Amino acid sequence: MSLAIVTGAARGIGQAIAARLAEAGHALLLVDLDERVHDTAAELGGSGVRADIADPADVTRIVAAVQEGGSAPRVLVNNAGITRDSLLRSMDEAAFRAVVRVNLGGTHALTEAIAPLLVDHGAVVNISSRAQLGNVGQFNYGIAKGGVIGLTRAHALAFAPRLRVNAVAPGFVESEMTLAMPAEVRQRVVDAIPLEVPGQPLDIAEAVEWLASDAASYVTGQVLYSCGGRSFA
């Protein structure tokens, strides 16, 4: 059985991605800073590692867990990320650096560490965001997620022909965070989506599973927007 490594997998989109990859027949190694990663891994029949992908020592621990797992790693999904939202004029340097450090730096560091372990014709799928096109209050997040797209293309070239590297860019997806928004604010966001409904974690999981599968064997260096049309509206 091949192994899929999913970061940011304790809940939300990451948990949905892990569940979908398990359904597709992959063994799972789930990574998250949230202690709930162990519960999620147990529920899905996999193993969990509590780790910070932007910490070199933790990246080393993740690599060791992959090597000790006994399954050949075939898929890496870089979903882990953080937000520190504020308007540009009030954003401090620490918030800017933290988001770039994890969302972009951590994604790069873990991919560089795991890529040599992935079997030939394996796949890396990065989670970017529609926010890289511009969102008020997400200056740091948009820059980091735009960087993930650049990183995806650079890694696609660097690791070809042995590995494929692609990205999924979600739009507004129902989650603990978005469901806690004031109802009127949430409705304004949904009204701006051409398909007129928010995304669901499963929508993103399905896109990731396709890019990781043999059905996408001739696709690399690409960005799939799963955002209900918000990327062009």
Express each pLDDT in 95-121 by its tens digit.
Answer: 667 787 889 999 999 999 999 999 999
The answer to whether residue 135 scores a pLDDT higher than 70 is no
What is the structure's pLDDT at 160?
Answer: 98
Residue pair 173/199 in contact by the 8 Å Cβ criterion: yes
Type of residue numbered 54: A
For the stretch 204-217, pLDDT in tens is 999 999 999 999 99
The answer to whether residue 85 scores a pLDDT higher than 80 is no
Across the chain, where does the E strand assignment appear?
Answer: 2-7, 27-32, 47-50, 72-78, 122-127, 163-170, 223-226
What is the structure's pLDDT at 231?
Answer: 83
What is the structure's pLDDT at 233?
Answer: 72
* Structure letter (DSSP) for residue 50: E
Structure tokens at 190: 């949904």
What is the structure's pLDDT at 7?
Answer: 98
Q: Which residue has the tokens 């933290």?
A: 98
pLDDT average, residue stretch 41-46 = 98
Average pLDDT, the chain: 90
Largest CA distance in the chain: 50
In CATH terms, 2-226 corresponds, of 3.30.420.60, 3.50.30.50, 3.40.50.720, 1.10.760.10, to: 3.40.50.720
pTM for the structure as a whole? 0.92
What is the structure's pLDDT at 93?
Answer: 63
pLDDT average, residue stretch 72-100 = 76
The answer to whether residue 88 scores a pLDDT higher than 80 is no
Q: What is the domain partition of the chain in residue ranges?
A: 2-226
What is the structure's pLDDT at 30?
Answer: 98
69 pLDDT band, cuts 50/70/90, is: confident
What is the structure's pLDDT at 91?
Answer: 56
Q: H or E element: which one contains 209?
A: helix 201-212
Q: How many CB atoms lie within 10 A of CB 213?
A: 13
What is the structure's pLDDT at 102?
Answer: 87
By annotation, the residues acting in catalysis are 141
Structure tokens at 171: 């739009």
